[in-house]
Homo-oligomer: A and B are copies of this chain.
Amino acid sequence: MNLNRPVSLNMNVRGMGQSATLAIKQMCRALRQEGRHVYDFGLGQSPFPVPHQVVEALRLAASQKDYLPVEGLPELREAIASFHRTKDQLDIDPHNVLVGPGSKELMFLVQLVYYGEIVLRSPCWVSYMPQSRILGRRISLTHTRYEEGWKITAEQLLRALEIASDNSRPRLIVFNYPSNPTGHTYTADELKELAEVARRFEAIVLSDEIYGQLHHKGEHISIARFYPERTIVSSGLSKWCGAGGWRLGTFAFPKDLEWLKESIAAVASETYTSVCTPVQYAAVCAFRGGSEIEHYLCHVRRLLAALARRCVESLNGVGVRVHLPAGAFYLFLDFTPLADRLARRGIDSGQSMCDALLAEAGVAILPGVAFSRSRSELTARLSYVDFDGDTALAASESIPLDQPLPEEIISARCVNVLDGVKRIAQWVS
């Protein structure tokens, strides 16, 4: 160890490595270059292609080169407002929509400009906590349990907010559902109760609904319906539209939070300036949607739901605890029932479990600690996306949507996912 390395770094970032999901992607790439077969269940990237009309829209916009307004292309902001109107029954003024280079960047900026406590539940998405840490923000973290389906209950939220001496503290509560990493969602009643608690404390809600369109039954409900006056709804192209690498995220603000939107736009104008112009033109096509995109979404949902069922059955069969997800493409695995067996193999933490799985079975999953669980907990996130979305989609399209997807299609098109899950099952047995 060289203690004399002459660095001068902000203490909030010192020692910080790259985001766990990106780091595991690079590790898988390196192992593959060594010729090893890797089941890559680490990164949460949609396996499906960007709908062809959206790709075509990007081609058509390729020569667009002007800087666009910080908040986004006006037509795009209108399309996004109308998307939320149609999909979520929300009344969003296009003027209150903000487009950013990924919703992750917008989440960072909201934490930068807002002065208040950030209220999170764990397991939570990998980047919320590091973002707060970079900015030196105060965090309130509530741990949820397998038994409650990893959901935060209204009672738990109340306990997190009630501080006798300072109930009026400014707070930003982050929700994320369908959830990364657990795939859970909330019922309308649960959302109403959570909204009621938030309202009592006049907290701001940031609802990360980027997987909303990947609810496996197409039945996503936004919490903004029950708390419209102070909820920011976050979405983007990365998940339902398969365009993670394009980097376009969206925030829809209520009228009452215009001051927050304006402040984020001011900082954006001094940092990323505006989102890539050709991508914004293409995104208009994506957010306007239409029957072809709806069709695409229905096939994507049917495939994800069917594949999840197969994985969950297989894992439950060997004693790994995991819920059937309601949306997105993640399973949150809990190996606690197998703790004794794993302890005999020297495994005493989520990280050592994932390291052994990768080394011994070639399966890459991310330990719970990356999602703000404790180090010792034997949990991990599995992204069941290691298959060719193009051919899977084509196979699904041969079966009418009103029929169930034949098991053979999953068996034939998602071999790597099923094999990888089998390897986990063998590895624990």
Instruction: Give A contacts to B, CB under 8 Å.
Output: 5, 7-11, 13-14, 16-19, 22-23, 25-26, 43, 45, 49-50, 55-56, 58-59, 62-70, 101-102, 104-105, 108, 112-116, 127, 130-131, 134, 170, 242-247, 259-260, 263, 265-267, 269-279
Q: Are B67 and A244 in contact (CB under 8 A)?
A: yes
Residue of B nearest to A22 (CB): B269
How close is A147's CB to chain B, nearest CB, in angstroms?
Answer: 31
Residue among A43, A62, A246, A275 with most chain B CB within 10 A? A62
Q: Which residues of B contact A259 (CB under 8 A)?
A: 5, 7, 9
Copy number in this complex?
2
Q: Are A267 and B26 in contact (CB under 8 A)?
A: no
How close is A187's CB to chain B, nearest CB, in angstroms?
Answer: 31
Sample of 10 more A-B contacts, CB < 8 Å, known A19-B269, A245-B274: A10-B112, A22-B67, A23-B269, A50-B65, A56-B62, A62-B62, A101-B101, A134-B270, A246-B278, A276-B279
How close is A390's CB to chain B, nearest CB, in angstroms?
Answer: 10
How close is A108's CB to chain B, nearest CB, in angstroms?
Answer: 5
Q: Are B170 and A271 in contact (CB under 8 A)?
A: no
Q: Is the interface of A mostly helix, strand, loop or mixed?
A: loop
Q: Could you list 25 A-B pairs, sorted by A, with CB under 8 Å?
A: A5-B259, A7-B260, A9-B260, A13-B263, A16-B263, A16-B266, A18-B269, A19-B270, A22-B273, A50-B63, A56-B62, A58-B62, A59-B62, A65-B243, A101-B247, A101-B272, A101-B276, A104-B270, A108-B271, A130-B270, A246-B276, A246-B277, A247-B273, A247-B276, A279-B279
